[in-house]
Amino acid sequence: MSVIFYRVKEGEFARLVETQSITKFIAQENENSPLKFSLVGINPDKKLAYIVRHGRSDELRTWRLDTLGAFLKKLGVTNLEVQFG
């Protein structure tokens, strides 16, 4: 299965969650920063994935897991898959 990845800012990611364009959420540990996670949202029906980037650069945004959980909880997300390494 081929998935197309888009890098989006935090606000656009939140909009995609609110419109239910993303239904699966993955926190992927950053290989250069242990216990810091990038956020990936997936739309399995359309085979699209969105990863959150910084607002001022194209680098991936990373969070501690507690901060990431609070962000997603605020958006109404109830399930999150966590991948280490």
- How would you write the pLDDT of the chain (85 residues) with one tens digit per residue? 688 999 999 999 999 999 999 999 999 999 999 999 999 999 999 999 999 999 899 999 999 999 999 999 999 999 999 999 8
Smallest Cα–Cα separation from 50: which of 37, 38, 64, 33?
A: 38
Q: Is the dihedral of CA 48, 52, 56, 62 positive or negative?
A: negative
Phi-psi region of 76 (alpha: psi -120 to 50; beta: other; left: phi over 0): left
Domains along the chain with CATH numbers: 4-83 (3.30.720)
pTM of the model: 0.92
